[in-house]
Amino acid sequence: MADTTASRLGQVNATGDVDSLFLKVFSGEILTTFEEQNVMKDLHMVRTISSGKTAQFPVTGIAEANYHTVGEDIVDGSNGYLSTIKHAERTINIDDVLIASTFIANIDELKNHYDVRSIYAKELGKALAKRFDIATMKTLFAAAGGTSPIGGNSGTEVSGATTTTASGLVDSLYAVARSLDEKDAPEDGRFAILTPSQYYTLLTADNVAINRDNGGVGNVAEGSIARVAGINLFKSNHLDSMIGLGDASADASADGSANNDVFGAAGAGYNGDFSALSGTASAKGFLAGTKEAIGTVKLLDLATESEYQIQRQGTLFVAKYAMGHGVLRPECAVKVIPA
């Protein structure tokens, strides 16, 4: 029987590598890059829903204890033994689908002498990670200036901080720890997000934060510092990007994020006035808190699609997600404002 000449879908013009046109690692590159570039993903509450447009987070108040006087009726409200525990809820809406996309013409791929798909995949992943980080950092900033729906503790602002020296940053971090303690915020999982300049100042200025004689935890060789005052430290350029927005409260380009008005202004989405984080000269503020401060609701987790479009003679690549972010417990959020 004669051999059948098959049409190899992965070949260019039926010659050469039979896998040349197949998509190999595009999705994996995006997922990996999103994880590598994203700082906020593991620093707040995340809930996934399978359908719907909102998710509700119950908020419960606290009870009180009182000494009992022999003979008094506990259920008599006038005696003050019964606790009235307040209840409320936080609702987080799903924003519109956020996409990062690119189109690669087939003729350009044929002419090009190096692979661009993995490069473009990384860039799409970075774009989504940046938007996610900045949106959640904006929400954390809003939480630090927010109030409790049941009349509990509000967010915290540490003002007049010195953030250009190692000793000043250490003092600021201890002020953050103190404020969280005073508002009964959880001790587990406390974090602070610093700019790269602030982070490396802690390592290279006077070593006060990593001096093992003082209980410091850091590694100059690796350029890492784990924590100060029980607060885990993270660095992110995305914080610099958010600070650079300045006063964005009048920004009408909220896009699909207008579903969640974290600053209370209708239609503003995550836009607010961040100018307080930009002090004089090179001084900048930073954000801190615990995982309970803000939340994210996912309807569509990070997903990728690709399609060769014969009418356009090229391949469309799309990375996307549908999520929303909102404030949960403002007492668990702190913004540090520079002097």
Average pLDDT in the 29-35 region?
66
Cβ pair 262, 138 in contact under 8 A? yes
Q: Which residue has the higher pLDDT, 57 or 27?
A: 57
Does the structure show a pLDDT above 50 at 198?
A: yes
Rounded CA separation 84/159 (Å): 35
pTM reported for the whole predicted model:
0.82
Query: Tokens standing for 264?
Result: 């209370």
Q: SS3 letters for 170-187?
A: HHHHHHHHHHHHHCCCCC
Read off the pLDDT of residues 57-105 as tens digits, 9 standing for 90 and up: 887 777 888 898 898 899 888 888 888 888 888 889 999 999 999 998 8
User: Using CA atoms, how far apart are residues 335 and 242, in angstroms rounded to an integer?
Assistant: 13
> Which of the four pLDDT bands, split at 50, 70 and 90, describes residue 285?
very high
What are the tens digits of pLDDT across the range 115-126?
Answer: 777 788 888 888
pLDDT in tens, 228-264: 889 999 999 999 999 998 888 877 565 668 788 888 8
What integer is the mean pLDDT of 159-183?
A: 93
Cβ 289 vs Cβ 295: under 8 Å: no
The answer on pLDDT for 163 being more than 70 is: yes
